[in-house]
Structure 1
Amino acid sequence: MQHRPSDWILILDYGSQYTQLIARRIRELNIYCEIHPFNKDLDAFRNQPPKGIIMSGGPSSVNDQGAPGLNEEIFDLKVPVLGICYGLQILAHSKIPGSVEQADHREFGRSDLIVDDSSDLLKEIPQESVVWMSHGDHIKKLPPEYEIIGHTDNARVAAVRHRKDQIFGVQFHPEVVHTVYGKQILKNFAYSICRLEGNWTARSFIESTIEEIRTRVGNDRVICGLSGGVDSTVVATLVHEAIGDQLQCIFVDNGLLRKNEFKNVLDLYEQDLHLPVKGIDASDRFLKNLKGVVDPEEKRVIIGNTFIEVFDEEVEGNNDFKFLAQGTLYPDVIESISFKGPSATIKSHHNVGGLPEEMNLALVEPVRELFKDEVRNVGRELGIPEHFIKRHPFPGPGLGIRIISDITQDKLDLLREVDDIFISELRKKDLYDDVWQALAVLLPVQSVGVMGDERTYEFTAGLRAVTSVDGMTADWAHLPHPFLAHVSNRIINEVRGINRVVYDISSKPPSTIEWE
């Protein structure tokens, strides 16, 4: 499904690590936006063109062979354009090849912006406010149709404006928190220059989405696969609001759930949320299909295909079911399709790249364009209990991608116990809500240990907890050392088969939150 309102901003991705932050900042202004590769065919938006375009930064130099180029068709849309870092440099390079060159000194970090013109893009930006630079090239010669509206001590061209058209560029990154007035700059672009009103809210999303679901589904029925997480639950609630008893939810025990998850979540769906749900135990089928599989991408495909098999069998012979609803999120989509196209994906997601090419059911994905925190806001607006809204993300492939080797019942049992101790202790010490996500992984490493007077040779468990806003970037959570020591002690003493515990202190990027 596509929930694009009439007023929206298109973000063209040139490969910057900050591209997702641009989207976050624009959406914080209650303005809808989408990220697409820089070479996206703009004919796709012919029926509903954006009201503004932002070109992201990127890791390339405009002078590199094969560097991403400028799609001149963006100017045919006659909407305001803002180039950020590489996005600015490609504007200059497209007019005067060679106008961008390697700087004598690379500029990474904070710099003070001197505002030369505060009439539009830099309106209400104080003099010498801090901006964040991250570039090795600089603009040596500015095309005559542009004028400088901001500079720094090290960058003569820090912000520019086209003399006739609404085309702007900045050499710094307004989307990062280090640029103190960055959000105001983006607000100036979106509100004052693009003339957007900022009326995209959780309530407006719900109202438009419900109407779209009703229109698309008609009198047919929808089957919704519930995972026990926030995303699929919000989807089910949205669809239920739209079509009522035409929805049938299925909660599948794939054998990869956490300890007691199947029963506890099924009770919550039935008793608290009053969703029409049927529980199916298909754990034997999933584990059989996954036997001996080590590669995480293969795991995802197998899990996705097996889910579809279960759903197809459930609706077999019932021609009323025509749709499958699922909780695909925007980060899933972004991570599955890189700025260069699908050839360089970070990882596929079982509900994006792991579904079979041919299915008997059409997909309904109401939150496909939302970040995690936006889904939670929608859930709150729908009246889903707060204790459920705050549940940590749990991947669709479940513990299958937290066992970093082949999957067996014994390994699943070990990991469930480790995970249960870690999560229960986080809740007990009031740390659960302080982290975005906490998880345990079972590593394919056995090591020597000593318990009592006996030698052991057992598995290693890895613990990971991160802080984040939307899952696109994350920092490892600095949990108290006494807490980690206590959790490690409990795991080693209580989980027979584990004799070593490690804590993951890597951030995203360069790592991902999940290990696979």
Structure 2
Amino acid sequence: AMKKLVRCSVIVATLIDAITINHHVPISPPQHSSAPLFHPPPWMPPRCPLRTLLLDNYDSYTYNLYQVLALVNGVPPIVVPNDAHESWDDLCAAVGPFDAVVLSPGPGRPDRPRDFGLCQDAILHSQHPILGVCLGHQGIGSAYGSSVVKAPGGVMHGRLSPVRHTGEGDGLFRGIDSGFKAVRYHSLVIAPESLADCLEKIAWTDAGDVMAVRHKSLPQWGVQFHPESVATESGARLLSNFRDLALDYNHRRGGGGGAVIHPSPHHHYSSDDQQAQDDSLQSSHDAATAEAAAKAAPRGGR
């Protein structure tokens, strides 16, 4: 019964994705609720819930990210528009403690404050683990001095591309084959020759476009593609890997950026339990992916 419930949750995201994948229109972010989307069984939650701040760059994919993050993290993320507060300190004071930050996709450029808002402040001033998606990924590059330029191959409008990566490395691509297919929806890229010294390229396309970066000394990662899209292979697993990286980092720091992390008093989650959770979620995600991909071919142009 729970597997059916998980599959239903993923299918909801699938339907939203099928509508939005070729209509990159900003929407109002979902209102945060303290109630979880569903109550997973004892074997399914992560080692302990990861309370994530999802900074919304006014993008149609924010709700897709919201859904998948809620599933993999064990608690819904806190959604805050990128211009909701005057400063990063004001934002942190308003939302309370959290464990990690995800920077959503969005229209515009990361070097324009009206497009990227407080996301750059998060990159430069937050002590939390950060994952940037699409515009968020470009913003990590831009914040440290990399150039963000027009994609050499033109606008990627919901296109699938093979993505190569350096291997499991620090864990973001753990369990994900190099060459997996990912949805791309962007017209800008980080220029590889301009990549800041503090950043490392960890994934790319066959044409050489930068698809993922990591900071060499801070817990920050960026992915140009959309892991939240149902047409991206292993997208849920990548978000689960970020969850584990954030949990491990916060554990080493004694709670990370101010959130107090308490494992469940009722269950002990072994690595086998965690793998079972990831496999179950990925199976549901992949089944929905196959169905959606069979119905909709990507379209070019914007």
TM-score by length of 1: 0.36
* Aligned residue runs from structure 1 range 394-409, under 5 A: none
AA of the residue aligned to 1:39: D
| Offset, 1:2 | 6.4
AA of the residue aligned to 1:19: T
Name the counterpart of 2:108: 60
In structure 1, the gaps of 5 or more residues are 201-468, 470-474, 476-516
1: CA distance, partners of 2:247 / 2:208: 27
1:9 aligns with 2:56: no
* Aligned residue runs from structure 1 range 297-316, under 5 A: none
Judged with a 3 Å threshold, the aligned counterparts in structure 2 of structure 1 residues 184 and 44 are, in CA distance, closer, same or farther, namely same
**Does the CA contact (< 8 Å) of 1:39 and 1:71 recur in 2?**
no
Judged with a 3 Å threshold, the aligned counterparts in structure 2 of structure 1 residues 177 and 198 are, in CA distance, closer, same or farther, namely farther
1:287-308 residue CA offsets vs partner (Å, 9 max, x unmatched)? xxxxxxxxxxxxxxxxxxxxxx
Name the counterpart of 2:25: none
1:413-440 residue CA offsets vs partner (Å, 9 max, x unmatched)? xxxxxxxxxxxxxxxxxxxxxxxxxxxx
1:49 aligns with 2:97: yes
* Aligned residue runs from structure 1 range 185-224, under 5 A: 185-195=238-248
Name the counterpart of 1:83: 132
Return the structure number with greater strand share.
Answer: 1
Q: Percent identity?
A: 25
Judged with a 3 Å threshold, the aligned counterparts in structure 2 of structure 1 residues 65 and 75 are, in CA distance, closer, same or farther, namely closer
| Offset, 1:155 | 4.3
* Aligned residue runs from structure 1 range 110-129, under 5 A: 110-119=160-169, 120-129=171-180
**Does the CA contact (< 8 Å) of 1:113 and 1:151 recur in 2?**
yes
| Offset, 1:199 | 7.8
| Offset, 1:170 | 0.4
1:32 aligns with 2:76: yes
The structure with the larger Rg is 1
AA of the residue aligned to 1:10: L
| Offset, 1:156 | 3.0
1:296-328 residue CA offsets vs partner (Å, 9 max, x unmatched)? xxxxxxxxxxxxxxxxxxxxxxxxxxxxxxxxx
Give the root-mean-square deviation of aligned CA atoms. 3.1
Aligned to 1:165, what secondary structure does the other structure show? coil
Name the counterpart of 2:188: 137
Name the counterpart of 2:215: 162
Number of residue-to-residue matches in the alignment: 202
Aligned to 1:32, what secondary structure does the other structure show? coil
AA of the residue aligned to 2:240: K
AA of the residue aligned to 1:131: A
**Does the CA contact (< 8 Å) of 2:137 and 2:223 recur in 1?**
yes
**Does the CA contact (< 8 Å) of 1:11 and 1:35 recur in 2?**
yes
| Offset, 1:71 | 3.6
Judged with a 3 Å threshold, the aligned counterparts in structure 2 of structure 1 residues 83 and 65 are, in CA distance, closer, same or farther, namely closer
Larger RCO, structure (CA 8 Å, separation 6 or more): 2
1:175 aligns with 2:224: no
1: CA distance, partners of 2:181 / 2:262: 26
Aligned to 2:189, what secondary structure does the other structure show? strand
| Offset, 1:180 | 1.0
| Offset, 1:80 | 0.3
TM-score by length of 2: 0.59
